[in-house]
Structure 1
Amino acid sequence: MCAHRVGMGSRDLISSLPDEVLGKILSFLPTHIAASTSVLSKRWRNLLALVNKLDLSDASGGPLGFPEFVDKTLALLKNSSLIKTFHLNCEHRHEDSRVDGWIRTALELGFLEELRLETVGMYSIETEFFTSNTLVDLTICDGFYPDGRLPPAGGVFFPALKRLSLFSVAFADCAMYDDLVLGCPVLEELFLHYPDDNNPPAWTGDVSSSSIERLTIIHHYPDYREAYEFVSFTTPSLLYLDYSGYVADQYDVDFDSLVEARLDIRPWEAFTDEHDDRSDSEDDDSDSKDDADSFSSWDVTGLVTKISNIKTLHLSSDSLEVFHFYCRSMPVFHNLLTLSFESDKEKGWQVVPLLLNSSPNLETLVIKGLVHKVTNRCGDACICIPKKKKKEEGVPCCLSTCQVKMLTVSGYLGTCRERKQISHFLANLKCLETVKVGVQVDNQQENHVHKRYMGIINALIKLPRVSPNCQIQFF
């Protein structure tokens, strides 16, 4: 019995799998590891030719022998009809001509669908040969940058490309960025990521494509002021926008099809109480208005107006203040069903009452954190102003006319101020059906975590509610 068990356990079950299955298994491994299996036995000697993905990186093994390994691997697989994905990561310096040759060979693979290029050095990509009829997903990172002449066939780089991602790519010519995007006629998703680093960004504040449906821009580069003089989005098919950057002087956008927007628009300078005082006095006299205009040279009105037809809107805490100070007129969001925003203890909710009053059909309100900067402009959306003063003003509470049915609050710590804010919502949102609260408890005192958690929950459950159908849930 024991001998039988040992015999069964010593069998090489993996080697007995079909070649096609082993090829797919090897495709999940870095290529240099997959290639090393050829020494296991004769059975594994030629299985590398069956992989459908090449993942070539000198990050782990270093530069020694890496060029020769890549040359040998590409020579073996250059006629393969199985290779669908090619990843090249160069963290060490290699000959420019050699790296360029690797990229050309990859693009010549007749069935390639995904290409990812990343490096810490600087390598130019000759655009005359940077083309593929089969490529669907292209990612370029850091030091790789397209340069040179446009390809033939009317400047079309990738006729089948659906997704283009550019991470800190510094084009030799900024016009090449426009040419690359225009050279992808069926592009559906564009991702531009430019953090604050030492490389000059390629994005010049313009996106023009009739086919793009999803657009993500992360552009944190305060030293590149020119990109924000005029921001233009000519994207009539766009459905989803995720935009993080600084406020521009002017926006000209085409968002006729936009359904959802996630905005993180940052000011060039930190807002102070003086800014709020100026905003308060804009209507008092012309001198005060001129003074307010002097610090409001930036304008998001063109952007906000063009997103007024969306159904879902996410705003960062910076965006809340930018909307307040730099939007000259708030449109009515007739189609807006879901509004979510983030709070920050250094930033106010000044624009929240106006947003709620401008969203007559709002059903879901999501708030990440309730603690925000106390200002004299938050109105009755919060508890910043004492109730007595609000009643004296004689203005109906913006919450009382709000149609919100679901309220979600995350990052709830159970402080007195937060509890009062929840109570304010419950007492004024007449259509509320569900309130979801994400409770956070300090884990440093593990013995009291459960007791603290239950105390927070019980305190919220006891709060009075104007809506008889309102149920409170916790997550």
Structure 2
Amino acid sequence: MMLNKLQNGNEGTTLIKEDRISHLPDHILGEILAFIPLKDAVATSVLSRRWRRVFTWVTYLNLDDTPNCHDYCLMRTPHTIDSFPNFKMYVDKVLQLCHSNNMDISTYILHFGKRKGCFHNLCFEGCLPVLDPMHLDAWISFPLACGVKVLDIIARVRKPSKIPSALYRCPTLEVLKLDVNVNNLDLNISFRIHLPNLKVIHLTFLKHTPNDDSVAMLVASCPSLQDLVLNAECFININLITSQSLRRLVINFSGNTWIDITSFTTKRLPRREFELDVPNLEHLTYVDSAVVIYSITKMNNLVNAQVDVTDLYFDGSIFGIFSGLSNVQSLYLMSRTTNTMALMACGTIINLKLPLFGNLKHLQLGCEGYYNWNNVLIELLHRAPFLETLTFMEVSVIYLYSSLN
């Protein structure tokens, strides 16, 4: 911070040190401190009186208490839970100082309670920290009145609460990421949603949701939405997604199965219909296993798609997906999809009902060596007249050779 400087005076030339950084404007110093961890930025307050509140000009708040794994789950030593009160006091102090200085926050990241590499369903209640619902509400609500643009919340607590309703009426919000074990994200919204600038939504569902039409309501209420990611670690019953502005969609409903403890068998709970109306979509990833009927609007601008689904009753409903993918340029059919298609193409179960893929240039197939898969391959080649590359992502060389001969 100090710059050596020569100064000429009556007593000759002397060497002085000038603090050039401290003379920078507050907002410039705030931008500089944004490049270092928040705890280090707060620590600069002890440098001098000038630096006492400089850290409050940082508009990027990253409050992260996420270690590598749940020690309680893996080692039965709950010291990470014991350390949570220190994190709680730290967050409270930072937010109090930011509030007293009327601080603007562009990015607000709050991560705690979820351990990297930890499976939610395998965690015990003792893994999760104790935080009063009103306290969690205050932590989430704080940046909403500070002009926040990016809100990234990962919070796992022992006593779930509700997402504050003010979150759905934040006009400055552009990116929303929620991974919170609250009551189904409290998406049974009975009020008007006002998120005119929201471009990115990432939601993770952790609890069983028998019916949740409010997700469709949330998506449809965001006129600027371009990126939507829905992850479910449980059975979830979302039947409709419609958006004219959406460009990227990731749906991972791999949790749409459940284990019957009495018979130790996996059962799938079917959704009667899944309707996807996103005509301007460019990128699609779709993982699901519990739909009877698909209703997919044609996507004329689709660049690439990755599909991992199965047919619940092997009656051909899986082919309803492809009706909307006919203009795709790059397609990856994962092994569950090609396995299902092969079973239906075998014998007299059902004829393949694939559309003509007039723009398809790159095709990737997942095929783990199942029987009679070449029927699917030949049919796809017939339906893709302009195909340039064909890649087998999961395949046994022996099965590939025998099938082609």
> Does 1 or 2 have the higher relative contact order (CA < 8 Å, sep 6+)?
2
Q: Which residue of 2 aligns with 1:77?
A: 98
- Specify which of 39, 56, 63 is matched with residue 49 of structure 1: 56
> For residues 148 and 351 of structure 1, what CA distance do their matches in structure 2 show?
41
For 1:240-272, what per-residue CA distance to the aligned partner results, in whole angstroms no more than 9, with x for missing partners?
Answer: 111112263210011333413433324378xxx
Corresponding residue of 1:139: 177
Q: Secondary structure at the match of 1:352?
A: helix
Q: Could you say if the C-alpha distance between residues 203 and 192 of structure 1 is closer, same or farther in structure 2, counting changes exceeding 3 Å?
A: farther
**One-letter code aligned to 1:324:** A
Counterpart-to-counterpart distance in 1, 2:314 and 2:236:
27
Q: Which residue of 1 is the match for residue 279 of structure 2?
A: 236
Q: Which residue of 200, 203, 208 corresponds with 1:163?
A: 200
**Are 1:136 and 1:160, in contact at CA under 8 Å, matched by a contact in 2?**
yes
Residue by residue, what CA displacement relative to the aligned partner does 1:47-76 show, whole Å, maximum 9, x if unpaired? 211212111234468322433433332233
Match of 1:259 among 296, 302, 311: 302
**Equivalent residue, structure 2, for 1:177:** 215
How many aligned residue pairs are there?
Answer: 341
Name the CA shift for 1:372/1:249 in 2 (closer, same or farther; >3 Å): farther
Give the aligned residue type for 1:366.
Answer: T
Alignment of 1:177-196 (within 5 A): 177-195=215-233
Query: Per-residue CA shift, 1:101-158, capped at 9, x if unaligned?
Result: 222221111x211001111222311325542101000000031453277475xx2231
Does 2:333 correspond to 1:333? Answer: no
1:171 and 1:39 mapped to 2: Cα distance? 49
CA deviation after TM superposition for structure 1 residue 315, in Å: 1.6
CA distance in 2, matches of 1:158, 1:234: 20
**Aligned amino acid, residue 119 of structure 1:** A
Q: Relative to structure 1, is the Cα distance of residues 108 and 17 closer, same or farther in structure 2, using a 3 angstrom cutoff?
A: closer
- CA deviation digits over 1:291-325, x for unaligned, max 9? xxxx6235112111221122221121222223334
Correspondence for 1:86? 108
CA deviations 1:316-373 (Å, max 9, x no partner) are: 1222223334574122111212212234245744411111111111123233355267
Aligned-residue offset at 1:20: 4.2
The answer for the alignment partner of 1:401 in structure 2 is none
Instruction: Check the 8 A contact 2:185/2:205 in 1, yes or no.
Output: no
In 2: Cα distance, 1:336 partner to 1:240 partner: 14
Opposite residue 198 of structure 2, the aligned amino acid is L
Give the conservation status (yes or no) of the 8 Å contact 2:153–2:179.
Answer: yes
Structure 1 match to 2:154? 118
1:204 paired residue number: 238
Paired residue secondary structure (1:366)? strand
AA at the equivalent of 1:38: S
Moved over 6 A (4+): 10-18
Cα distance between partner residues in 1 of 2:29 and 2:338: 54
CA contact (8 A) 1:151 1:157 kept: no
Cα distance in 1 for residues equivalent to 2:213 and 2:395: 44
* RMSD between aligned residues: 3.2
Long gaps (5+) in structure 2: 5-14, 68-79, 114-128, 259-266, 345-350
139, 142, 154: which one aligns with 1:105: 142
Hey, what does 1:354 align to over in structure 2? 379
Q: Could you tell me how far 1:40 is from its partner in structure 2?
A: 3.6
Question: Unpaired runs of 5+ in structure 1?
Answer: 270-294, 375-381, 388-475
Whether 1:344 aligns to 2:381 is: no
SS of residue in 2 equivalent to 1:71: helix
What SS is found at the alignment partner of 2:90?
Answer: helix
- TM-score w.r.t. structure 1 length? 0.63
- Aligned equivalents of 1:366, 1:16: Cα separation in 2: 60
Q: 1:351 aligns to what SS in structure 2?
A: helix
Which aligned pairs between 1:15-54 and structure 2 lie closer than 5 A? 19-54=26-61
Question: Is the alpha carbon distance of 1:355 and 1:49 closer, same or farther for their aligned partners in structure 2, counting shifts above 3 Å?
Answer: same
Would you say the 8 A contact 1:299–1:328 is kept in 2?
A: no
Tell me if the contact between 2:151 and 2:173 (Cα under 8 Å) persists in the aligned partners.
Answer: yes
Which residue of 1 is the match for residue 7 of structure 2? none
Q: Give the AA of the match of 1:71.
A: D
Q: Distance in 1 between matches of 2:291 and 2:398?
A: 24
Q: Which moved more, 1:305-314 or 1:365-374?
A: 365-374
How far apart are 1:17 and its partner, in Å? 7.0
Change (3 A) 1:73 1:108: same
Q: How far apart, in 1, do the equivalents of 2:309 and 2:302 lie?
A: 22
